[in-house]
Amino acid sequence: MAKSLVSFTIIFAMMFLPLLSNAISQCNGPCRTPDDCEGELICINGICNDDPEVGSHTCTGGGGGGGGGGGGGGSCHSSGTLRCHGKPYPLYSCSPPVTSSTYAKLTNNDFSEGGEGGDPSECDGKYHDNSVPIVALSTGWYNGGSRCGHMIKITAQNGRSVMAKVVDECDSMHGCDSEHADEPPCDNDIVDGSDAVWSALGLDKDIGVVGVTWSMA
């Protein structure tokens, strides 16, 4: 009887496991290859998320803290659309709620004068050295500058963390002009980090977008 039960368990597992490997994940679901994600999503650091090459915004339209992103209930809905380089980009004045482990997409920004980051930082009107761990936050999380000068803790999926200072806004309401280096509006869940942030996390900035978590320090 015991042998029969073991045999049945093994056969059941062999039949069921392929189904798991072929499962298609939605936003923030687990993945191993780009084919593991549904629709216009791509596997970024083990998580299904919007494909920056396609410009999809499936994962960024969902829940968030209303009007300023400091936390709380409600939904974060797009407040309009801006066409940039022939593609439509949703505009957001809000971001997902800030928790002790807030999911975000880490991108790379050049905060130096003459770099690709555009105008000086919003917090102090100055340019900054990219060898210092600093960040810009999406408009909702930036919250009108209330987080300027504050430190946040960013944690990568490899377990490494870094403390970084908020110096700028990653504008989710405007873009495609000289002030924003002709770049489209930011998604509403972006932590835009300097080279030092990527280096401290042991990440390759050439990847472009990596899923991380962050919290106020």
Q: How far apart are CA 152 and CA 132, in angstroms?
A: 14
- Does the structure show a pLDDT above 50 at 74? no
Taking residues 5-19, what's their average pLDDT? 40
Taking residues 130-137, what's their average pLDDT? 97
Q: Which region among 27-41, 66-80, 181-195 has the lowest average model confidence (pLDDT)?
A: 66-80
Q: Count of H helices and E strands in the chain?
A: 3, 10
Q: How confident is the model at residue 54 (pLDDT cuts 50, 70, 90)?
A: low
At the top level of CATH, the class of 90-216 is: mainly beta
The pLDDT tens digits for 147-160 are 999 999 999 999 99
What pLDDT score does 18 carry? 38
The pLDDT tens digits for 82-133 are 888 788 888 888 999 999 999 999 999 999 987 776 789 999 999 999 999 9
Between strands 102-108 and 210-216, the pairing is antiparallel
| Helical spans, DSSP H, in 47-104 | none
Q: How confident is the model at residue 198 (pLDDT cuts 50, 70, 90)?
A: very high
Maximum distance among all alpha carbons in the chain?
76
Give 147: exposed, middle or buried? Use CB within 10 Å, 0-12, 13-18, 19+. buried
- Does the structure show a pLDDT above 70 at 73? no
Q: How far apart are CA 26 and CA 29, in angstroms?
A: 5
**Better-predicted residue by pLDDT, 105 or 26:** 105
What pLDDT score does 115 carry? 73
- Does the structure show a pLDDT above 60 at 69? no
**Better-predicted residue by pLDDT, 194 or 34:** 194
Q: Which helix (H) or strand (E) holds 214?
A: strand 210-216
Radius of gyration over every alpha carbon of the chain, rounded to an integer in angstroms: 20
- Does the structure show a pLDDT above 70 at 71? no
Give percent of the chain above pLDDT 90: 45
- The predicted model scores a pTM of 0.65
Q: Where in the chain is the domain with CATH 2.40.40.10?
A: 90-216
